[in-house]
Amino acid sequence: MAGTSIHLLLPPLFFQHFSDTSFIAEDDAGLGAFLIGFHSHAQPEVAYIHFVGVRPDLRGLGLARTLYEAFFAEARAAGCRRVDAITGVPNRRSQAFHAALGFEASGDTDIDGVRAWHDYDGPGEHRVAFSKAI
Ligand SMILES: CC(C)(COP(=O)(O)OP(=O)(O)OC[C@H]1O[C@@H](n2cnc3c(N)ncnc32)[C@H](O)[C@@H]1OP(=O)(O)O)[C@@H](O)C(=O)NCCC(=O)NCCS
């Protein structure tokens, strides 16, 4: 995912169809952070966070944690009991963030010292999967 164009990760459908389970934070300079998430149609007990992003000058201040906690509360109130997310193998920052929030990581292969699912998103597109009970 690191290295994947943001436009490919975030086509308009996410903003059109998942706005009721997504969150943003703004300040005087505009958009500070956002979280795109939704509830699984196939697995009603599962909610999924597709992407979180914090403006570089606002990182390390707890903003992503605040957005995740808002998402957890909304998902729990809707009956979800687990939150899933994935990230790329090179994205150590995202891996540290999810670990700090209590997510458990899973994978089937060791890639560059990271446990990840081999070819998860297609050939060569390995991903670390995260889950957390809420
Ligand atoms: C990953 C990202 C969302 C974290 O946002 P943030 O607002 O800086 O994170 P927070 O300040 O809420 O941090 C929450 C916890 O994660 C930890 N954490 C966050 N970034 C970290 C890093 N780079 N290294 C180690 N730990 C980190 C913090 O220490 C904190 O732990 P604590 O609450 O126990 O002190 C942000 O760096 C980002 O936007 N990265 C680029 C986009 C991306 O990679 N998104 C994830 C892929 S879906």
Map out the domains of the chain as residue ranges.
6-133
CA of 68 relative to ligand 1 center, distance in Å: 11
Q: What is the pTM of this model?
A: 0.95
Q: Whose CA is nearest to atom 40 of ligand 1?
A: 53
pLDDT digits (tens, 9 = 90+) for 39-62: 999 999 999 999 999 999 999 999
Alpha-carbon gap, residue 130 to 35, rounded angstroms: 16
What local confidence, expressed as pLDDT, does residue 44 receive? 97
What local confidence, expressed as pLDDT, does residue 8 receive? 82
What local confidence, expressed as pLDDT, does residue 1 receive? 55
Q: Which CATH superfamily is domain 6-133 in?
A: Gcn5-related N-acetyltransferase (GNAT) (3.40.630.30)
Alpha-carbon gap, residue 14 to 133, rounded angstroms: 24
Q: Position 89: which residue type? A: V
Q: Which stretches of the chain drop beneath a pLDDT of 70?
A: 1-4
Q: Whose CA is nearest to atom 35 of ligand 1?
A: 100
Q: Bridge partners of 66?
A: none
CA of 54 relative to ligand 1 center, distance in Å: 8
CA of 53 relative to ligand 1 center, distance in Å: 9
Q: Bridge partners of 35?
A: 23, 52
